[in-house]
A and B are shown apart, each in its own frame.
Chain A
Amino acid sequence: MDFKGSDTIPGPRAEDQLPHTTQAAAKIVIVGGFGVGKTTMVGSVSEIKPLTTEETMTQAGIGVDDNFGSDSKTATTVAMDFGRISITDQLVLYLFGTPGQQRFWFLWNGLFEGALGAVVLVDTRRLEVSFDVMGRLEERGVPFVVAINSFPDAPRYPIEELRTALDLAPDIPIMECDARRRASSRDVLMTLMRFLHSLAMTGSRT
C-alpha cells in the first residue's frame, strides 16, 4: 500500500483535539437505509466535521451474484461516517452512521457489541428498508429507539400506526425528527439515553 509522507497527513485542527484528561469514549450507532439521513444526523450534532473510516470485509461466495466458479471470497469495503461530542473533560461520545450496505455493518466486529445503543433512522417513503436492521439489532440485544426523519414529501402516518407497522415493543420509543437540525437530532439522542436509563432502572433487558 502506498503511504503518503507523514508530513502530508492532516490531523485534527487544534480546536478539535481532545483534552489530555479524556479517559474514555463511548459510542452510539445510527442505522437505517440508504439516503435516510444518517450522515446528516451525525453532522448536525458532531463537534468535528464528520470523518470516514473503512473496513474491508470478505464474504463467502455463496449467494453472491457474481464471481461464479472463481474465488470463493470477495472483498467488500464498508465505510462509516462518524462524529464526536465531548461530554465532560473525561468522557467523549462518538456517533457512527454509514452510507454503506447495511447487511455488512453487522460483520464489523465490535461496532454494535460495544455500542451503548442505536438509533434506527426511518424514511416513511421506504419504511421496509428499516425492517432488516431492526431485526438484527433485536437479535443482538442492542437497545434502540426509532426516529422518523420527516422528509417534506414523505407520507405522514400517525406514530402509533408506525409503531404497529414496525412491530415495535410498547416500551421502545419512536419519534419524529429533522436530522438536519441539531436540536432535533440531539432530542433523538436524549430519547435514546432516557430509554437506556429506564432499562437500567428496570434491569429487564440486556
Chain B
Amino acid sequence: MTPPQRQRRNPAPEPAPQPSQEGEGKPNPERMYVVAGPDGERAELDLVTLIVARAADPPPSATPEQAALLRLCAAPLSVAELSAYLSLPFSAMGTLLTELLTAELVHARSPIVRQAVPDRSLLEAVMNGLQRL
C-alpha cells in the first residue's frame, strides 16, 4: 500500500479571507473593541510579547479591566497568557495594552522573531534548555 501523494499547491490566488485587523481602512463593526474604547491605536504586539506592570499596584484611576491585567502581569506574562486568563481575543488585547503602554503603566518586552539567517546562539540556548526537560 502506498500513501497518497501530495501535489504542490498552485499558488493561484484563492478568494482569500481577510484578517479583520487589516480592513480596507474602514473599521469593522464586528470587532470586539468594547473593552478597549472607541479609537485606541493598536501597538505592534505579538502573541509572545512579554508584558510587565511598572508598579506593584494598579493606580486608582485604572478601570477594572486594566486593574485585572496589571495584577496579572506583576511578573512578566505573554500577551497570549493575558488573553487566555482574561478571556479576551488577541486583537482586543492589543487595544487594551496600547492604552496601558501609552499611560506608562506597563513595559513591553519585544519577542525574538525569526531572522532571515537564524541566530545560532539563540538556537543553542534553546537546545540546551530542551535537553533539561
Contact = CB atoms under 8 A, between A and B. Distances in A.
Given A107-B17, A107-B19, A186-B133, A26 B111 contact: yes
B4 interface: yes
Interface string A174-205: 00000000110010011001101101110100
Interface residues of B, number: 73
Contacts, number: 243
A183 B20 CA distance: 39
Interface in A1-41: 1, 3-6, 9-12, 17-20, 22-27
B85 A197 contact: no
Bin the interface of chain A by size: 35 or more
Most chain A beta-carbon contacts within 10 A, residue among B6, B65, B72, B83:
B6
A153 interface: no
Contact of B84 (A51, A114, A162): A51
A114 B118 contact: no
A193 B126 contact: yes
Interface in A150-179: 155, 157, 161-162, 164-167
B118 A82 contact: no
A128 B85 contact: no
Interface in B2-48: 2-9, 11, 14-22, 28, 30-32, 34-35, 46-48
Interface in B100-133: 109-114, 116-120, 122-131, 133
Given A27-B111, A55-B90, A3 B81 contact: no
B75 A25 contact: no
Contact of B3 (A24, A54, A161, A186): A161
Q: Is the interface of A mostly helix, strand, loop or mixed?
A: mixed
A155 B4 CA distance: 12
A136 B9 CA distance: 8
B90 A3 contact: no
B129 A93 contact: yes
Contacts of A167: 5-8
Contacts of B75: 12, 17-20
A67 interface: no
A109 B19 contact: yes
Contact of B123 (A88, A157, A196): A196
A196 B120 CA distance: 8
Given A58-B20, A62-B15, A200 B120 contact: yes
Given A1-B35, A11-B71, 14 more contacts: A9-B68, A9-B72, A27-B48, A53-B80, A55-B90, A60-B15, A93-B126, A103-B17, A110-B47, A132-B9, A182-B133, A190-B127, A190-B130, A196-B123
21 contacts: A9-B68, A9-B86, A22-B50, A25-B50, A25-B112, A27-B47, A54-B83, A58-B19, A91-B112, A109-B22, A116-B112, A127-B4, A127-B6, A128-B6, A135-B9, A142-B114, A157-B2, A164-B5, A167-B7, A197-B120, A199-B117
Which A-B residue pairs are the 5 nearest by beta carbons? A59-B17, A87-B129, A135-B9, A6-B68, A114-B113
